Structure 1
């Protein structure tokens, strides 16, 4: 099994990718550790803070302690940024949009890349460029109906909604019922107050409960 398939399988197994960013390395390490202990094996850090590259580099080194953990970078808009983060050890690249230069660069480097798409045309273009997984973004605006529509005409395309995915039975049942490969979850999972107060056990419990909920919905 190649690296792409291994990561895609890890995404399938947990069903949920945490999407997180923070300008403090110690906070980022604690969040990553809590997610791993809860059962997460694929984690997306996003390139949003000014020091995101430095934080990611340190986080990647720290993540080597966690066996079977894949750490990707999100919010990538240029091939130059993709190159920097691949050099820093990113396991996969995620973009909020469909960006051909990022797609082509990652393909050339043999790197799994996940483009953000919001129309059937974009999903088809992503498929043409070789995408194996597409991020339906923003998920809360597109809804589960969009996933169903895409899957009806491109059944082999793996879809991951990100943005507005909630850790509730109702919301997750709707998404998984529409045929998603996995879901991306950010602000709904990482409450600022919990992180600011360093209550990482509460965070771990919440992530664990969400993973358990997804497992029960799928079965």
Structure 2
């Protein structure tokens, strides 16, 4: 369980978890390296492409060189998928929904799992299953008001909005002022054109800026 606290602590410290998927292993490695160099310590790869498992396995081996980096897998809908990716070395499991079989399986394996919730009932249920962190998804539809409302009745619940979170001072301020534990950031951070052009230095700078905006907001 201490392992969970270490990952949760790393999530708090950086405040932002990149959410990324790509079918090319080399591109994925370069993106992971850029994120790490920018200061990211918790990274979520998502199980969306046909070959996501192969890419994740390669990425996990590659990630061993980065000290203090936790690599998790997202878009997990079944205990069977959770099992495959845990076997491949995933540090945590993220789902877009609250899925009891995934919750129970991860609890049994002592694995940190993060369910996607969009209602107070789901957050309560996640909490009763033992979730240490809840993903508010889709973030842009729920908004910071949802986080505030949940925190007002369940103040101990850690929330991570994902989906439509933007790397701007205005958007991030709204989220952090509502009491989030951290934010997940995908398409807003990973410009497809920048990645297609392999401008990894540009990507690194963009991630660095997002992290420093968060750190400024918190100060």
Structure 1: distance between partners of 2:109 and 2:122: 22
| Structure-1 separation of matches of 2:155 and 2:23 | 39
Cα drift, residue 5 of structure 1: 0.1
- In structure 2, what is the equivalent of residue 208 of structure 1? 208
The alignment's TM-score, normalised by the length of structure 2, stands at 1.00
- The equivalent of 2:41 in structure 1 is 41
State the SS of the aligned residue for 1:135. Answer: strand
Q: Distance in 1 between matches of 2:88 and 2:167?
A: 31
Q: Secondary structure at the match of 1:23?
A: coil
The alignment covers a number of residue pairs equal to 219
- Taking structure 1 as the reference length, the TM-score comes to 1.00
Q: Where does structure 1 differ by over 6 angstroms across 4 or more consecutive aligned residues?
A: none
Q: How does 1:101-112 map to 2 (within 5 A)?
A: 101-112=101-112
2:92 is equivalent to residue 122 of structure 1: no
SS at match of 1:73: strand
Question: For residues 140 and 205 of structure 1, what CA distance do their matches in structure 2 show?
Answer: 24
Deviation at 1:77, TM superposition (A): 0.1
- Deviation readout 1:12-69 (Å, 9 max, x if unpaired): 0000000000000000000000000000000000000000000000000000010000
Q: Which residue of 2 aligns with 1:142?
A: 142
Q: What is the distance in 2 between the residues matched to 1:37 and 1:82? A: 28
Q: Report the counterpart of residue 72 of structure 1 in structure 2.
A: 72
Structure 2: any 5+ residue segments left out of the alignment?
none
The alpha-carbon deviation at position 188 of structure 1 amounts to: 0.2
Looking at structure 2, the residues matched to 83 and 50 of structure 1 have their Cα atoms a distance apart, in angstroms, of: 17
1:176 corresponds to: 176
Distance 2:189 2:136 in 1: 18
1:95-106 mapped onto 2 (5 Å cutoff): 95-106=95-106
